[in-house]
Amino acid sequence: MNNRIAEGIIRYKKRIVFTFSALAVCSMVLALLVTVNYNMVDYLPQDAQSTTAIRIMEEEFGGQIPNARVMISDLNIQEALAYKEKIAATVGVGAVSWLDDIVGRDTLTTIPVEFLDESILENYYQDNSALYTITIESGMEKSTVDAIRDLVGEGNAVAGEAVNMAESQKMSSSEVTNAIAILVPIILLILILSTSSWIEPVLFLVAIGVAVLLNMGTNIFLGEVSFVTQSISPVLQLAVSLDYAIFLMHGFNQYRTLHEPQQAMKLALKKAFSAVSASAATTVIGFMALMFMRFEIGPDLGINLVKGVLLSFISVMVFLPALTLMTYPLIDKTKHRRVIPEFRGAGKWAIKISKPILILAVIIVIPCFLAQSSVEFMYGTGGITGASRAGQDAVSIEQRFGKENTLVLLVPKENAGKESELSKALSDIPYVTGVASYVTTVGGEIPPEYVPEKVVGQFYSENYARIILYTHMPEEGTQTFGTVQNVLDIAKQHYDRYYLAGQGVTLYDMSNMVSSDTQRINLVAILGIFLVLLLTFRSPVIPLLLLFTIETAIWINLSFVYFGGQSINFIGYLVISTVQLGATVDYAILTTDRFLVNRKILSKSEAMKATIDSHLEAILIPAVILSSAGFILAFTSSNPIIAELGILLGRGTVLSFIMVVGVLPALLMMFDKVVQKTRFYQGEGLE
């Protein structure tokens, strides 16, 4: 860091503390105004097939895709029609579809139910139970679902994507606060045990806490953030950047033994700047990789995390020094004896076990790589409800009416014969239980002008014919995605233009997009961090050793999912593959840097012993904090997507720490001669 900048921070410390404090208070208020988006569909690109279909359907037919089902028992036809009107009058309900929309209200009220088409009837009315398909307006999910539940009563069921979204909103509203409330005391305890002052840990948390508030407040300029970003970004920012503050204060305390506080801070800033910059750079690169996803949940999370790390870096380099110089007398007064002993002798132990662990890592790396490559992903939010009322309601509806994954196909409005051929071909697809179109419901031989406008409007717009496919398929999976592909293939055989919409189609598009996004962001993250490591160590070999160490930990982490016969939400995979790499490679950087410095005056074995002895704590403390953050996310979150991510983060951090302490020492000593010969510049290290 430039001397002039360091001197400016010291000279204007009071102004800096006041400015950051004021901005933090403003950000706290602004954070409450940030809109949180719970609809994953909104993050699909505008040119995605399903997104285009939804847009055309809204323009041509009005309204959104149906996103919920309501089942009411013990009703006759007249009562069912009355309930339909009550549901339609509920605030937030955009549309309600029931049997009368298909066969006509007059037909339904004049012809006995047993004379109606059974293939149509079974989707709407069975055993005196009516099943309504409704559309809940975007942004109104929580209040509307609550209102419908109040209307239909406890004995009936409400389920669907909008209900899952409402459950997500309830789950996420207080979970950040809960996670922080548990994490902060744990971090305080860890820091108190590992430092020699009662006040120092508080300063660490204040510095990063201010950065977290600034990050959350500045989200107001983004317009909105996803519920995933809102739930995990503050916790991740706190966990991955706290070691910046620890490193700065460690240097300050060292220089205090020989210098006045102002001079000690100036030297500490110069010492910490390069190391913290390198650490922040690798973390930022990892998070930036998310911004290369076409599926926009990645950029949403990536931008937020990158912004958070940069704000943490600024806070540690500017706000923390100013705050420390204003409070150092208090630090001196609250000194206490260290509780955690120094790790003398750890280096000898690490060297002894490093070769066996390296051999084990080499043996399992390929199976783990193949296993993590075969992990099955989930893309929807159906797993969120679990044992909640929404999940129980979904089971009740499925038991009576079966699983339903409604698809809506739009084709150009041309002639009834062509539409009839298409409808017949679609009805022959496995898992398709019914096809509702003008020609199958009204009859192609009847001109639309002789049919009530309300019925015609269900199937024809000015330019398009709408065909509704009822399927007994789960929300997602091989069966669902195969059926979607079959529908698209058959539509292509009959029409040049066609558009397919529905929850299954949206998740099908997500799966295709994430498959390509996964390869892209992994490549970007690895190449970006390789470049940072190359510039940091001036050696092409060291980046390969460090990347092998952390990537192996990532593959082992994800292979637990495969060998456990589980599937994970794609968000967990995308985040962990970048966060674990970007955040925990810092441990490898610090170990390697200290080894290279010690290697100048010691043999490779003694240099590694000295490195582990002196810097094991510097790796252990951030690792314990980051893994604690992950496990606390898993413990406090009732949202399975967030909890799953927390487990991956907690377990992944532990594995990265084991690899850095147990495998990297053997690699550095094994390739010592190669590293020494291939380094094109040998300076004094990151400090």
493-528 residue pLDDT tens: 998 899 998 888 988 888 888 878 888 888 888 898
544 or 66: which carries more pLDDT confidence? 544
Specify the long-range contacts of residues 423-428, CB closer than 8 Å, at least 24 apart: 423/467, 425/490, 425/493, 425/494, 426/467, 426/469, 426/487, 426/490
What number is the average pLDDT over the span 347-374?
91
In sequence order, what E strands does 89-218 have? Answer: 93-97, 125-126, 129-136, 157-159
Closest residue by Cα to residue 350 from 594, 20, 69: 594
Instruction: Determine the pLDDT at residue 273.
Output: 86
Separation of alpha carbons 139 and 73, rounded Å: 28
Instruction: Tell me which of 176-185, 227-236, 292-301, 424-433 is least confident.
Output: 176-185
| % of the chain with per-residue pLDDT over 90 | 28
Query: Which ranges in 446-502 belong to alpha helices (H)?
Result: 453-456, 478-494
Instruction: Determine the pLDDT at residue 71.
Output: 93
What number is the average pLDDT over the span 294-306?
90
Would the pLDDT of 16 be above 90? Answer: yes
Pairing of strands 224-226, 35-37: parallel
What number is the average pLDDT over the span 655-680?
90
| pLDDT grade for 482, boundaries at 50, 70 and 90 | very high
Instruction: Determine the pLDDT at residue 175.
Output: 65
Q: Which two tokens stand for residue 591?
A: 């170990």
Is the separation of the CB atoms in 21 and 203 below 8 Å?
Answer: no
Instruction: Determine the pLDDT at residue 383.
Output: 58
pLDDT per position as a tens digit, 605-635 = 999 999 898 888 888 888 888 898 889 888 8
Would the pLDDT of 584 be above 80? Answer: yes
Separation of alpha carbons 655 and 642, rounded Å: 20
Would the pLDDT of 209 be above 90? Answer: yes
3-state secondary structure 10-40: HHCHHHHHHHHHHHHHHHHHHHCCCEEECCH
Query: Per mean pLDDT, which of 228-232, 351-355, 550-554, 592-596 is the most reliable?
Result: 550-554
Neighbour tally for 336: CB within 10 Å = 10
pLDDT per position as a tens digit, 86-98 = 999 999 998 888 8
One-letter identity of residue 542: I
| pLDDT grade for 227, boundaries at 50, 70 and 90 | confident
Separation of alpha carbons 125 and 3, rounded Å: 79
Is the separation of the CB atoms in 225 and 172 below 8 Å?
Answer: no
Instruction: Determine the pLDDT at residue 192.
Output: 85
Instruction: Determine the pLDDT at residue 669.
Output: 92
Separation of alpha carbons 161 and 104, rounded Å: 27
402 or 465: which carries more pLDDT confidence? 465
Instruction: Determine the pLDDT at residue 388.
Output: 65
Instruction: Tell me which of 28-37, 431-440, 492-501 is least confident.
Output: 431-440
Residue 408 phi/psi, 5-degree rounding, is -125, 120
Q: Is 474 helix (H, G, I), strand (E, B) or coil?
A: coil
Is the separation of the CB atoms in 629 and 236 below 8 Å?
Answer: yes
Crossing angle of helices 261-288/570-599, nearest 10°? 140
| % of the chain with per-residue pLDDT over 70 | 95
Is the separation of the CB atoms in 331 and 324 below 8 Å?
Answer: yes
Separation of alpha carbons 602 and 585, rounded Å: 25
Query: Under 8 Å CB-to-CB from 400, ≥6 apart: which residues?
Result: 71, 126, 127, 129, 131
Q: How many helices (H) and strands (E) does the chain have?
A: 28, 13
Residue 374 phi/psi, 5-degree rounding, is -105, 5
Q: Which two tokens stand for residue 274?
A: 């390069």
| pLDDT grade for 462, boundaries at 50, 70 and 90 | confident
pLDDT per position as a tens digit, 164-183 = 888 777 766 566 677 778 88
In sequence order, what E strands does 128-169 have? Answer: 129-136, 157-159
Measured CA angle at 396 (ends 391, 400), to 5 deg: 145
pLDDT per position as a tens digit, 127-151 = 889 999 888 887 788 889 999 999 9
Separation of alpha carbons 587 and 61, rounded Å: 57
Instruction: Determine the pLDDT at residue 652.
Output: 93
What number is the average pLDDT over the span 309-337?
90
Would the pLDDT of 334 be above 90? Answer: no
